[in-house]
Amino acid sequence: MATTTEPDRKFVIVANRLPVRWVDDDRNGDSGHWETSPGGLVSAVRPSVADYGQAGWIGWTGSDVDEEPFVDDGLLLHPVSMTVDEKELFYDGMSNGTLWPLYHDKAVPAEFHRHWWDGYRRINRRYADAAAKVAAEGATVWVHDYQLQLVPGMLRELRPDLRIGFFLHIPFPPPELFVGLPWRDEIALGMLGSDLIGFQTPDAADNFHRLVVRRGLADDSGPGVLAHAGRRVRTRAYPIGIDVARYDQAARTDKVSDHARDLRARLGAPHTVMLGVDRLDYTKGIDVRLRALKELLDDGDINPRQVTMVQVAQPSRDDVEAYITLREEVDRMVGEINGDHGRVGFPVVHYIHQNVDFPELLAMYRAADIMLVTPFRDGMNLVAKEYVAARYDLTGCLVLSEFAGAATELSDALLVNPYDIDGLKAAIARAVAMEPTEARARLEPMRAAVLANDAVDWARGFLADLADR
């Protein structure tokens, strides 16, 4: 690894996190290790840099230790540091206590605090300054997600020579909900600093378009085109994809088949394995799926000797109050289900509150007859696509919330409204009883959709439009 301070990068990614994060191994922070950052953003965006010789990535390491920029495999990693207090205001506070719930239909109440907003502005300025320092003359800068919505506007002021794209990985709420945000115009104006703004779904793009026109921040210049400050700003949906080949190819290996077989055996060789894989987040609907399962078991509609559930809940944002409360609730519900319906050595719900590595995850996708993806609202949900990619033999059933962005492309899943517990119970019961011919007929078009738009297609599609003035 080498260091550089030259503004020589022709392509710069700006995202809250670097593609790798620093994890402390002990509480004193004396030792630690680098690992891939959590979430779908990194896995989708990382391959896009391969098309560019001189690329850079600006992001947070996840720790409060100052790190120098370093070059890893040709990619300049430029860490942005935050103190513990700054992280509390910017990340725990404004990003995940205000914007995250507001953009996800207020699954928990969004909090508005002026000191959080001040912290958000300060840290966005830090990312914009870093991008201005690293980007070469006329470079393309691609800014990501709700944590950094002010960066495009700030960067344009600093460096009008740059081509700036912004992609929002989470939903953008309807204007009626967004206008309650005290800093609504500042956020929207920040995004309007871009040349191209990408969203996961046409609805999200439309919500933003209507908002800025209604607020008088931009003029409508036709579908997906806005006029702002003498510039053209385009808005469009670019549904994000996954690295399909990685899942598809690995799933076909003997190693993964053996691993999946072993997993089923360790689960007690049940007739049906159900699976949930999520960050432990209240938007994901982990609680509703447990409630539905409990009622089905209580009513005798599901036999606990035949059906087992594995729920992976990756630890996430564990300094934020709503996440602490959710963890307690999920712990309690799992305990209740297993207490009422499990037997010694055979719990009904196998709950893993840990990160799982790729081979284990893939074995789970292969072992699962039913995949439960039930968010109240989700930008896309890549787990749904990963499951489909791993089911190369067209077996298995995806139960999917109609409020996940993925439902647009995966409309052949068993679609559910996660607020409707009876509907969810009916879908689970239907999935348990589904004939292989129906499962096959549903998976075939879904696989075609996932294969047709992988992560590289997605990034190239966005960047080609960004390059085209």
**311's tokens:** 């729920």
Which residue, 41 or 296, has its beta carbon nearer to ligand F6P? Answer: 41
Provide the minimum distance between the beta carbon of 117 and ligand F6P in the complex, in angstroms, as a whole number.
Answer: 18
Say which of 104, 169, 209, 228 is annotated catalytic. 169
Which residue, 46 or 350, has its beta carbon nearer to ligand F6P? Answer: 46
User: CA dist 80 to 22, 41, 46, 68, 389, Å?
Assistant: 13, 18, 18, 9, 35
Binding track, positions 147-176, relative to ligand F6P; x by CB under 6 A: ----------------------xx------
Identify residues 368-397 at the interface with ligand F6P (CB under 6 A).
379
**182's tokens:** 């005290």
Is 465 within 8 Å of 195 (Cβ atoms)?
no
In the block, tokens 């891939």 appear at: 36
CA distance 365 to 251: 9
Query: Does 38 help bind ligand F6P (rule: CB under 6 A)?
Result: yes
Pick from 12, 14, 16, 196 the residue near ligand F6P by CB under 6 A.
Answer: 16
Pick from 20, 41, 143, 383 the residue near ligand F6P by CB under 6 A.
Answer: 41
Binding track, positions 253-282, relative to ligand F6P; x by CB under 6 A: ------------------------------
Nearest-CB residue to ligand F6P?
39
Total number of residues that touch ligand F6P (CB under 6 A): 11
CA distance 31 to 101: 34
Query: Does 316 help bind ligand F6P (rule: CB under 6 A)?
Result: yes
Query: Does 145 help bind ligand F6P (rule: CB under 6 A)?
Result: yes
Is 33 a residue of the active site? no
Is 127 within 8 Å of 58 (Cβ atoms)?
yes
Is 348 within 8 Å of 333 (Cβ atoms)?
no
Is 26 a residue of the active site? no
Pick from 9, 17, 46, 425 the residue near ligand F6P by CB under 6 A.
Answer: 17
Q: Pick from 173, 393, 397: which is nearest to 384 by CA?
A: 397
Stretch that binds ligand F6P, among 34-42, 63-71, 395-403, 451-459 (CB under 6 A): 34-42
CA distance 8 to 20: 22
Q: Pick from 7, 10, 11, 69: which is nearest to 459 by CA?
A: 11
In the block, tokens 């949930």 appear at: 276
Q: Are strands 163-167 and 135-144 parallel, antiparallel or unpaired?
A: parallel
Q: Which amino acids are annotated catalytic?
A: 169, 378
Give the footprint of ligand F6P on this chain (CB under 6 A).
Answer: 16-17, 38-39, 41, 145, 169-170, 316-317, 379
